[in-house]
Amino acid sequence: MNILIEELKTFISVVEFNNFTKAAKHLNLSQPSVSNHIKSLERYFNTKLIDRSIKQKKIFLTENGEILYKRAKEIVTLLNITMNELHNDTENMEGHLKIGASLTIGEYILPQFLKEFCHKYPNIQVEILIENTKSICDKLSNISLDIGLVEGTVSSTNLNKCYFYEDKMVLALPYDEELNNKESIFEYLNNCVWIGREKGSGTREYMDMFLNNSKIQPKNMLVFGSNFAVKEAVKNNLGVTIISSLIANSSNKNKELKIIPLDNHFTRNFSYVLPNNITHSKVNDLFINEFKKFVLLL
């Protein structure tokens, strides 16, 4: 069995380098050894896995080769996970995580958490991708991320979600605006510029819902790709927005923004999201458990 595992690792390298010589160098094997590993796999599975050009400069996977490559990756990954779980205690945990976070979480929660997490677990490498909720969920469905931390709707049946934080949305205005009653607020909102995130972001969902519920047709809309830019635009009297209280509270205290609380329809849950039917590593579980403990203190 151990010989078969090594042959599968050789096969993976040949496919990923698309070259026998480069794979041999990477694996510190001779080129004949690499060739023998591939031939041995073809005998074992009784099928052709790789077609080679005459000069052997290019390789082409057969249909069965594509199937074996996918399964070989899963087998080797699962073995690595098992090895880490058997030989790592929590304090000395090692591994690599790819985390996708939507912008509110990625900009206003994750940096504080990672400062503590990376100090506590220095041997865990964390790679962060910050994009909107839809993009993060798409990448989780393709299993190119380990964990997603998102706001907004998660509708894919390929994903499991679990709430970890309740966030309140607020209406944010330039600080010097004077609004004395509901009528003046409604009239003001109908005649001002609205500032928001792009379609697909969790924050934009709530702004669109507010506009629809209030029957407001914005005369002009400015779209920014980050929460910081949205907040700064409001501070600089460019318009108004619906934004997370996490983002607006400090600016309100500093008299840079004026905020108006909204009803419970504008309370949203942040979720951590995992791909379905995938064996998750001990490092994954550790990250989630530490993160849930952290957000309880927010």
Q: Tens of pLDDT along 208-229?
A: 999 999 999 888 999 998 999 9
For the record, the structure tokens of 41 come out as: 């796999």
Residues 240/171, Cβ–Cβ less than 8 Å: yes
> Average pLDDT of 96-122?
92
CATH of 169-265 among 2.60.120.580, 3.40.190.10, 3.30.565.10, 1.10.260.40: 3.40.190.10
Q: What is the DSSP string of 198-224?
A: -TTSHHHHHHHHHHHHTT---S-EEE-
Report the pLDDT averaged over residues 202-210.
91
Question: Contact, 266 vs 210, CB < 8 A?
Answer: yes
* Residue 247 to residue 189: CA distance in whole angstroms: 21
Q: What pLDDT, in 10s, does the model give residues 124-140?
A: 999 999 998 889 998 89
- What is the per-residue DSSP string for 7-54? HHHHHHHHHHHT-HHHHHHHHT--HHHHHHHHHHHHHHHTS--EEE-T
Neighbouring CB atoms inside 10 A of 285's CB total 11
Q: pLDDT band at 249, cuts 50/70/90?
A: very high
- Residue 116: pLDDT above 90? yes
Task: Report the pLDDT value the prediction gives residue 244, as an integer from 0 to 100.
Answer: 94
* Section 72-78 average pLDDT: 83
Q: Tell me, what's the pLDDT at 276?
A: 84
Give residue-wise pLDDT tens across range 254-279.
Answer: 999 999 999 988 999 999 999 887 77
Is residue 161 within a helix (H) or strand (E), and if so which, with residue range? strand 159-174
> What are 2-16's pLDDT values in tens digits?
568 899 999 998 988
28 vs 25: CA distance, rounded Å: 5
Residues in a beta bridge with 43: none
What pLDDT, in 10s, does the model give residues 26-49? 899 999 999 999 999 999 999 999
- Looking at 91-105, 174-188, 222-236, which range is the least confident one? 174-188
Q: Kindly report whether the global pTM for this prediction surpasses the value 0.85.
A: no
One DSSP character per residue, 92-145 reads T--EEEEEEE-HHHHHHTHHHHHHHHHHH-TTEEEEEEE--HHHHHHHHHTT--
Indicate the class that CATH gives domain 2-87.
mainly alpha
Percentage, residues of the chain above pLDDT 90: 52
CB 54 within 8 A of CB 248: no
**DSSP class per residue in 53-82:** -TTSS-EEE-HHHHHHHHHHHHHHHHHHHH
- 89 pLDDT more than 60: no
The alpha carbon torsion through 55, 57, 58, 64 (nearest 10 deg) reads 70
Q: Domain 95-165+269-295 class?
A: alpha beta
CATH 3.40.190.10 in the chain, residues? Answer: 95-165+269-295, 169-265
Tokens representing residue 275 in the block: 């791909």
What local confidence, expressed as pLDDT, does residue 169 receive?
A: 95
Start-to-end CA distance of the chain, whole Å, equals 50
pLDDT at res. 1: 55
CB 29 within 8 Å of CB 9: no
Which pLDDT belongs to residue 41? 93
Q: Are 151 and 197 in contact (CB under 8 A)?
A: no
- Which residues belong to CATH 1.10.10.10 in the chain? 2-87
* Residue 177's pLDDT band (cuts 50, 70, 90): confident
Phi-psi sector, 143: left (phi>0), alpha (psi -120 to 50), beta: left
